[in-house]
A and B are shown apart, each in its own frame.
Chain A
Amino acid sequence: MDTAYYLNLAFNGLVEGSIYALGALAITLVFGIARFPNASTGDLMTVGAFGGLAGTLAGGGLLGAAIAGVGVSAAVALAFHFLLFRNLARRSAVASMIASIGLAFFLRSALSFIFGHDQRVYDLPLTRAVLFGPIRVQPTDLQVMGAAAAALAVVFAVLHLTPIGRRMRAVADNPDLARASGINAGRVMAVMWLMAGGLAGLGGVLLGAKTVVTSEMGWDLLLPAFAATILGTIGNPIGAVLGGLLIGLVQELSTPFVGFTYKIGMGFAVLLLMLMIRPQGLFARNALVR
């Protein structure tokens, strides 16, 4: 148990955390603008993973998988915005949340029905790890972290550098004032769902590249992604990413002390501790999605 051992644990935690972070980003966007906890995020990740499978089968490699996965899950998210969530927008957040739970079950069952329960694997070339000092880094890991960083950059660019982003922030800040100022909330919602779906899809593709693709895979990520969202303050994109990384770090670094079966609980223990000390989350400000 030397420094190198812990450094490797920390690195593994950051890689896992990057995947949580993508899910958390998707959750936080919906939470900030549509104002309900979207329980179908995990299964949107699964949709993205299957989309990515199509991308690799078409010979696109990991990049093709990412493009196909993001495209498919963004399209699915947008479709269900029009079919489902748009009609519930006037109702309480609970109605939308329950609907999202229903959507989660629907997506998982549909995928199981179409693709069965057998595992599928992205046909990507096997690579060897490279040593960066004491840390063993696999090319896939760098791609995972790079993708999470790029996704965060894109979210920020959209929110802060584009007119639609400014409107999104306005709607997040004060929906009534935004409507009174003539902002088209419908378009804002559509773009938000495209982004949230795409982010979840990207998370699913990365998870699929690291593990195996099954119809159940995303569901298991929903809780850590929610924990990351709450840890980093609901509605705060940077907070979501940092929350995800923190949970990954704490999980892996706790393993020498609590073993590998209780590490998952450690992520939630951090969340509990934080909620007791700072109920508003780590990065609370008065406004959301800023």
Chain B
Amino acid sequence: MAGRIEARMRRAVTAGVSLAVMSLALGGAAQAETAPFRIGALNPVTGAGSPYGPGMQKAIILAADEVNAAGGACGRKLEVSAEDTQTSPEAAVLAVKKLIEVNKVDAVMGTWSSGVTLAVMPITTQAGLSLLNTSGAPAISTEDKADLVWRFQATNDRFGQAFARIATERGFKRPATMAYNNASGIGNTEGFTRAWTAAGGEVVSSVVYEPKRPSYRSELQQILAANPDVIVMGSYLQDTTVILREWYQSGQNPDVKWIIPGWAANQQLIDALGPDVLANVIAVDSISNESAPSYAHFEAAYKKAMGADAPANVYAAMTYDMVIAWGLAMQQACPDTATAAVNGSIRAIDTADGAPVYTFAEGKAAIEAGRKVNYEGASSRLSFDEYGDVTPDFSLSEIDGGAFVRKGVVSF
């Protein structure tokens, strides 16, 4: 009986009764409009994400300050509580529970690795909170049944498409793939393989490998036996360090090129191996919306706050956009600023026919004047697809003078 009612409820919701209306009906609007809206900043301050986490956290705080300086969203100030995920799912679960139960946050922003996001998602969804993340695993799109999860980073699948585009442009003919055995790693290489074979190409060899092995010689031997001209990786820093060192030291196929995601092929990889080993590496990373006024605005604020250049941290631009977009959605949802209502208004600040706006203050003024807006983010144009995913541009970088230097941009 209860099941039947539930099924009917679900049908009703899918039939288009919006969440906003539901929460109104349930008295969600009854809460005080002046209480601060609490944001949980859940970032990888330590662990594998540590090159990015501190900047991501800072970007959330400075964006919240910006919203507050403009008088808040719908009259409510934003308040940030920060926790460290340690880039570990276990630690992230403890941290998110603390944010929800102790800090009483209304939304969680800035989870970085797919493993962390997938671990935190069920908890935030259960609590009815939105989760804004910078992870790549395709599973995040499909697991998000409640439409509470918003991704400000390209999916691994789109990374894979970018890899395929670059492989085509560089004239490679015989790609092989190596993937770390998790949703993100395999998502990268599967995305590549789909795009590459759809264009009529073939992948000569592929391996899925386990993390933290004492050696990857056997895996490499299988890949190199197929004589590829490029090896496409879905990998992380640690395994990439070991694999590239063993490849270089083995002296096999010294001319083979590597296409590696930017979170693995970064300055830390150069520190570990030296630039000579990485001469054949093409690092591919999603990049910020660099030509947009919103990016220039963010860059100046970030530099002032961090003393570091924004391009070194694409994820900081994403977390900055999370807060600005969320603030605008609150403004759009006004007077009901409960999480569910704001969550339901995110697409409304990304309307194709809306006036493009580049800062919170600008967007707030436009919404108050009753105009439709389209927030063009600092991290990407923020065009959310049906899954709440965005499509940023990608850069390809190669070693030049001991550092990775951008050599081109790929747009979709």
Contacts and interface: CB of A to CB of B under 8 A. Distances in A.
Contact of B242 (A15, A16, A210, A252): A210
Contact of B208 (A13, A207, A259): A259
Given A5-B225, A260-B219, A117 B210 contact: no
Given A9-B218, A207-B214, A255-B218, A126 B249 contact: yes
A12 B272 contact: no
A8 B242 CA distance: 18
Nearest to A262: B210
B251 interface: yes
A220 interface: yes
B46 A210 contact: no
A236 interface: no
Contacts of B241: 119, 121, 211-212
A212 B238 contact: yes
B268 A119 contact: yes
Nearest to A9: B218
Nearest to B249: A138
A129 B249 contact: yes
B272 A119 contact: yes
Given A117-B48, A212-B272, A261-B208, A128 B249 contact: yes
Contacts of B274: 126
A19 B214 CA distance: 8
B112 to A, nearest CB: 13
Nearest to B220: A12
Interface residues of A, number: 37
A210 B214 contact: yes
A8 B217 contact: yes
A214 B88 CA distance: 14
A129 B212 CA distance: 22
A191 interface: no
Nearest to B254: A128
B50 A260 contact: no
A217 interface: yes
Interface in A236-267: 252, 255-256, 259-261, 263-264
Contacts of A221: 214
A248 B18 CA distance: 58
Contacts of A263: 210
Contacts of A217: 212
A129 B214 contact: no
Nearest to B219: A260
B207 A260 contact: yes
Choose among B214, B237, B238, B248 the residue with the greatest number of A CB atoms under 10 Å from its CB. B214
A10 to B, nearest CB: 10
Contacts of B156: none
B379 to A, nearest CB: 25
B411 interface: no
Contacts of A116: 46, 50
26 contacts: A5-B221, A8-B221, A12-B215, A12-B217, A15-B215, A116-B50, A117-B50, A117-B86, A117-B88, A118-B268, A121-B271, A126-B249, A126-B277, A128-B249, A129-B251, A136-B250, A138-B250, A140-B249, A210-B214, A211-B213, A211-B215, A211-B242, A212-B241, A216-B212, A255-B222, A260-B208
Q: Which 8 interchain pairs have the tightest Cβ spacing?
A: A117-B47, A121-B272, A12-B217, A220-B212, A129-B250, A211-B242, A16-B214, A260-B209
